[in-house]
Amino acid sequence: MIRSVVLGSGAATPRRSMSNAEFEKIVDTTDEWIVQRTGIHSRFIADADETTATLGTRAAEAALADAGLTPDEIDLIILATSTPDNTFPATAVDIQNRLGMHHGFAFDIQAVCTGFIYAITTADLYIRGGMAKRVLVIGAETFSRLLDWEDRTTCVLFGDGAGALVLGASDSTGTVGERGIISASLRSDGAHKDKLFVDGGPSTTGSIGHLRMQGREVFKHAVAMITDVITSAFERAGLGVDDIDWFVPHQANRRIIDASARKLGIPPEKVVITVDRHGNTSAASVPLALSVAIADGRIKKGDLVLLEAMGGGFTWGAVLLRW
């Protein structure tokens, strides 16, 4: 059988990091409230010349370099984003062009904060289906452009950035000890669409709109949804919590991450936390967290890694892969 194996990874953040103290000058908030309720100390905010396409391209170039591959050797680009540069064409084709790649195909996936989990799952199906041998999977966002900078309940939470993985087809006998994506579980339920959404769009207001969130409502559902979908990914793989080396969750809120890990029985030393420096970067959050844990030597070849995300829609999902 064929398995999708990670060949390389990369990340990119905007030049400017913005501290909680800077928010104290903009809205009625404090560093203490933000840290206590979310675990966020700072986040990166894109300058005008930094877009989802430029950040995504930088992350893609870094992932290609890490894999020792050129764009010629990629068949497909999948970009997870809810903040495309334009309504259309897909920002993925812009990135394809910026990479100098004029063969193959590219498209965007929109599943908000779960976008990267949906994207690698989709890439895995293209690879196992035989339609692509090497896929560049990118999560890139400029959520700062969607924020209502007068709404203290949302503007302090989000940040911008991008992360990417190169996945490649590899022969496998299908055992859980071999490298590659082992199992995944995806969910969505549109009954929750008004709890976290953007109040504009091309078919309704004709404008971009602003992010709106009933934070407490999202929080209420998050832990149960996250733990359910992870349990389902474990069941599909025939694996359990004790088998994993690293838990790399969506970085929305430190309290949600801690509560999910506690409920699942994952010890804190196996949990990768980057919400303190990135804030919530939506589809970029999981690959950005991965990049930190790879760079500091925690995630190594052969480790069993559990990825998870939950967000607008609601959408939620988990992936188990042997690095």
Per the CB < 8 A criterion, the answer to whether 109 and 78 are in contact is yes
Cβ proximity to ligand UT7, 102 vs 216, nearer residue: 216
Number of residues that bind ligand UT7 (CB under 6 A): 20
Q: Which of 35, 179, 200, 219 binds ligand UT7 (CB under 6 A)?
A: 219
Q: Which of 53, 119, 222, 223 binds ligand UT7 (CB under 6 A)?
A: 222
Q: Which residues contact 40 (CB under 8 A, 6 or more apart)?
A: 20, 34, 156, 157, 254, 275, 276, 279, 280
Scanning residues 240 to 269, which ones bind ligand UT7 (CB under 6 A)?
252-253, 256
Residue 288 identity = L
Q: Is 254 helix (H, G, I), strand (E, B) or coil?
A: helix
Q: Is 60 helix (H, G, I), strand (E, B) or coil?
A: helix
Cβ proximity to ligand UT7, 38 vs 91, nearer residue: 38
Q: Which of 89, 104, 200, 215 binds ligand UT7 (CB under 6 A)?
A: 215
Choices 99-107, 130-138, 149-157, 262-270 (CB under 6 A): range interacting with ligand UT7: 149-157
Report in angstroms how near the CB of residue 115 gets to ligand UT7 at its nearest. Answer: 11
Q: Quick check: 152 binds ligand UT7 (CB under 6 A)? A: yes
Spell out, one character per residue from 297 to 316, where the chain touches ligand UT7: x when CB under 6 A holds, - when not: -------------xx-----
Catalytic residue, from 192, 210, 250, 278: name it: 250
> Taking CA 10 as the corner, what is the angle to CA 261 and CA 156, rounded to the nearest 5 degrees?
55
Q: Quick check: 33 binds ligand UT7 (CB under 6 A)? A: yes
Catalytic residue, from 20, 113, 155, 278: name it: 113
Q: How far apart are CA 297 and CA 124, in angstroms?
A: 25
Question: Cβ of 270: how many Cβ atoms within 10 Å?
Answer: 16
Q: Which of 216, 269, 297, 301 binds ligand UT7 (CB under 6 A)?
A: 216
Peptide bond before 314: cis, by omega within 30 degrees of 0? yes
Per the CB < 8 A criterion, the answer to whether 83 and 142 are in contact is yes
Between the two ends of the chain, the Cα-to-Cα distance in Å is 18
Cross-strand partners of 18:
43
Question: Cβ of 154: how many Cβ atoms within 10 Å?
Answer: 21
Report in angstroms how near the CB of residue 38 gets to ligand UT7 at its nearest. Answer: 5
Read off the tokens for 306. 């559990």
Task: Report which DSSP code applies to 106.
Answer: E
Q: Quick check: 225 binds ligand UT7 (CB under 6 A)? A: no
Q: Which residue is nearest to ligand UT7 (CB)?
A: 215
Q: Quick check: 39 binds ligand UT7 (CB under 6 A)? A: no
Choices 14-22, 58-66, 72-80, 213-221 (CB under 6 A): range interacting with ligand UT7: 213-221
H/E stretch holding 117 reads: helix 115-128
**Judging by beta carbons within 10 Å of its beta carbon (0-12, 13-18, 19+), is residue 128 exposed, middle or buried?**
middle
Tell me, yes or no, if 250 is annotated catalytic.
yes
Q: Which of 4, 20, 38, 144 binds ligand UT7 (CB under 6 A)?
A: 38
Catalytic residue, from 20, 210, 253, 280: name it: 280
The residues assigned a catalytic role are 113, 250, 280
Per CB under 6 A, residues contacting ligand UT7 are 29, 33, 37-38, 113, 152-153, 156, 196, 215-216, 218-219, 222, 252-253, 256, 280, 310-311
